[in-house]
Structure 1
Amino acid sequence: MTKPSLCLVTPALADANNGNWQTAHRWARWLAGHYEVRVVKSWPDARTADDGTDLLLALHARRSAASVAAWAQAHPDKPLVLALTGTDLYRDIRTDASAQRSLALAHRLIVLQERAPLALPEAHRAKCHVVFQSSTRRQTLDKTREHLRVVVVGHLREEKSPETVFEAARLLSPDEGILIDHIGNALDPALGELARATAAACPHYRWLGSQPHEATRRRIQRAHLLVHPSRMEGGAHVIMEAVLSGTPVLASHMDGNLGMLGPDYGGYFPVGDAAALVARLRECRRDIAGDGGALAALQAQCSARAPLFEPTTERAALLRALAGPRQDPIP
């Protein structure tokens, strides 16, 4: 039997090495058993004239807005599914007309964590499906008691709040036994300069730049903690990768992180509050020299969330979202 044809539009291809590309690549691989899938940066593309595409799945309301509008005009009766990012939910759909239009044109919406529907206008929530992202489980490694190893993963851009990490590093003394590795490319050159300056001033802080995905996962495995200080987030890959590696998370108290870790998680600090982050890091540093109770409690909470991030869970939720009832566009 011929499989239906699906075009997956993503503004980030493999060379971007970011969360959007990881999502697109994983979804394309899984959907290949159910659809004839092609991944493109925009629609229409070179195969539009004769490919008979049955469904468009677009990532990012603003950056894929032209593709969404073109599909809606060319194929008003064919399904249009839109997956929303953090910048969509917490910035663009509030202020950007093209993102708002994408939201209205979509027949179904996909969001990546459980608090995301609350960010949508009420009229759009009925067509919203929560699809938690997933990754593979990794062995939980034994950790040294000699120092606290911390990893931060995220390209240097304003939404990820790397300044919180820089300030935290400067508040710590080199002899406190708290070592921070910061992974991510400098998408904002000014933030790259701040990272270099912080590394020069703080021997306990290293900026490692962009790293291959596998190398990043190994560093997450070896760390006592993942720190995720974002100001704006749709549902971070690195959080679920840490959870599935048995590595607890310290995260900023904002909706994207709350929707991943749950409202009762014990590892939050206020957004942008470097002093509060440092206090949590010092608490964990004291903890590894003692009985490990606080870190163990965070790890147990993360383990309880881990089933949400299993590949079988994500695959089933994604297929339900694509096959779900059609919701007419909202004028």
Structure 2
Amino acid sequence: MYIGLVTPAPPYSRNGNRVTANRWAGILRSLGHRVSISQDYGGQDFDLLVAIHALRSAESVAAFKARRPASPVVVLLAGTDVYGPLYEEGGGPVLDAAERVVTLQRLAVDELKEEHKGKVRTIVQSARPTPTSGPSQNARHFDVSVVGHLRPVKDPFLTADATRRLPRESRIRVLQLGDSMGRAMTRRANALASSHPRYAWLRGLPSWRARRLLKRSQVMVISSLSEGGANVVSEAAVDGVPILASRMPGNVGLLGDDYPGYFPVGDRAELRRLLLCCESDPAFLDCLREAEEPLRSLLDPQRECADWAALLDEVVSGGV
């Protein structure tokens, strides 16, 4: 098939939507399809349209259905769709038009109206283990990585705030990876880097460098206020990196209800306690790694390809 894939993120962006678009294009091509990525639908005669971000791709979905009403549409719900004002801002017609709606974790479906829930298919983003060479971890520091672009919804500085005034003997160091998405974030990150002895902002790194640094971390923290289903959780889990995560649906939908590494959203005191526990108690780190196993079992790229093949079979009469 000739598949169009629209995403609001521009080419060469490290934005999560563009990263997802590139990943999915690779999967669809591996299944034998021709794929074109663009920011908007431009009138092409695609056999299928895959739209990343329901609200921001609404015009493309409407234009495609107007031109090719019999051709199917698959819509990915981004985090700001799932846990934002999706229906209030006109997302309902997009979901009406879609033959299938993809979510990245199992709890996202709970946010939809009943008439749309039957269209939902959850496809967890796969991840390959990171090949590394040299020392696996820094012997001088207990490195805690925070990976993601600096945006308010990520609560990106919670880990830095939680590690102020730690005991002198603590070896905890916070490594923040990600581009700033605004001047206020840049100022805050620079101020922390100059005043907080346990904090370093490494800015945006190429994917391979970020993955290598993540694997060499003793712990990864994801402190977001909301998420659609962050791929960095999969990347940490596949490499056996213990995760401390804010207890919100986007994380719970991946890690499970009973994962022992949760802290309440925005609770820096509890995050501080968990970090010190990680540093001082190897058994707790082992417990976190063991609790990641259910997610790790879902991360095989062949499984993700099979999920996409099954989805395409569903939306195209008679199979592909």
Please classify the TM superposition score into its range, dividing by the shorter chain length: over 0.9
The SS at the match of 1:92 is coil
* 1:79 and 2:72 aligned: yes
The SS at the match of 1:180 is strand
- What displacement does 1:230 show? 0.4
1:38 paired residue among 27, 31, 36: 36
Q: Using a 3 Å threshold, how does the CA distance of structure 1 residues 166 and 96 change in structure 2: closer, same or farther?
A: farther
Equivalent residue runs for 1:294-309 within 5 Å? 294-309=284-299
Structure 1 counterpart of 2:54: 61
- What displacement does 1:195 show? 1.2
- What displacement does 1:145 show? 5.8
**Uncovered stretches (5+) of structure 1, i.e. residues with no partner:** none
Report the Cα distance in structure 2 between the residues aligned to 1:293 and 1:172, rounded to whole angstroms.
21
Contact 1:131 1:314 in 2 (8 A): yes
Report the Cα distance in structure 2 between the residues aligned to 1:171 and 1:86, rounded to whole angstroms.
33
* 1:324 and 2:318 aligned: no
The SS at the match of 1:195 is helix
The SS at the match of 1:250 is strand
* 1:254 and 2:252 aligned: no
Structure 2 counterpart of 1:9: 6
- Structure 1, residues 250-305: CA drift from partner, whole Å, max 9, x if none? 00000000011111111100001111111100111112xxxx10001101111332
- Structure 1, residues 218-251: CA drift from partner, whole Å, max 9, x if none? 0111001110000110110111000111101100
- What displacement does 1:34 show? 2.7
Report the Cα distance in structure 1 between the residues aligned to 2:88 and 2:155, rounded to whole angstroms.
21
Structure 1 counterpart of 2:124: 132
Q: State the aligned residue count.
A: 314
Give 1:153's aligned amino acid: V
Structure 2 counterpart of 1:18: 15
* 1:204 and 2:198 aligned: yes
Report the Cα distance in structure 2 between the residues aligned to 1:60 and 1:276, rounded to whole angstroms.
33
Report the Cα distance in structure 2 between the residues aligned to 1:23 and 1:186, rounded to whole angstroms.
19
- What displacement does 1:325 show? 4.7
* 1:105 and 2:103 aligned: no
Q: TM-score, normalised by structure 2?
A: 0.93
The SS at the match of 1:309 is coil
The SS at the match of 1:239 is helix
Q: Using a 3 Å threshold, how does the CA distance of structure 1 residues 10 and 206 change in structure 2: closer, same or farther?
A: same
The SS at the match of 2:244 is strand
Q: Using a 3 Å threshold, how does the CA distance of structure 1 residues 198 and 173 change in structure 2: closer, same or farther?
A: farther
Report the Cα distance in structure 1 between the residues aligned to 2:167 and 2:204, rounded to whole angstroms.
26
Report the Cα distance in structure 1 between the residues aligned to 2:103 and 2:3, rounded to whole angstroms.
19
Contact 2:127 2:300 in 1 (8 A): yes
- What displacement does 1:326 show? 7.5
Report the Cα distance in structure 1 between the residues aligned to 2:15 and 2:259, rounded to whole angstroms.
26
Report the Cα distance in structure 2 between the residues aligned to 1:325 and 1:54, rounded to whole angstroms.
11
Structure 1 counterpart of 2:257: 263
Report the Cα distance in structure 2 between the residues aligned to 1:94 and 1:194, rounded to whole angstroms.
34
Report the Cα distance in structure 1 between the residues aligned to 2:87 and 2:205, rounded to whole angstroms.
33
Structure 1 counterpart of 2:155: 161
* 1:213 and 2:210 aligned: no
- What displacement does 1:30 show? 1.8
Q: TM-score, normalised by structure 1?
A: 0.90
- What displacement does 1:175 show? 4.8
- What displacement does 1:104 show? 2.1
Equivalent residue runs for 1:112-127 within 5 Å? 112-127=104-119
Report the Cα distance in structure 2 between the residues aligned to 1:144 and 1:283, rounded to whole angstroms.
18
- What displacement does 1:14 show? 4.0
Contact 1:166 1:195 in 2 (8 A): no
Report the Cα distance in structure 1 between the residues aligned to 2:169 and 2:40, rounded to whole angstroms.
51
- What displacement does 1:170 show? 2.9
Contact 1:162 1:229 in 2 (8 A): yes
Percent identity of the aligned residues?
37
Q: Using a 3 Å threshold, how does the CA distance of structure 1 residues 302 and 244 change in structure 2: closer, same or farther?
A: same
Contact 2:150 2:156 in 1 (8 A): yes
- What displacement does 1:156 show? 0.7
Structure 2 counterpart of 1:172: 166
Contact 2:160 2:174 in 1 (8 A): no
Higher helix share: 1
**Uncovered stretches (5+) of structure 2, i.e. residues with no partner:** none
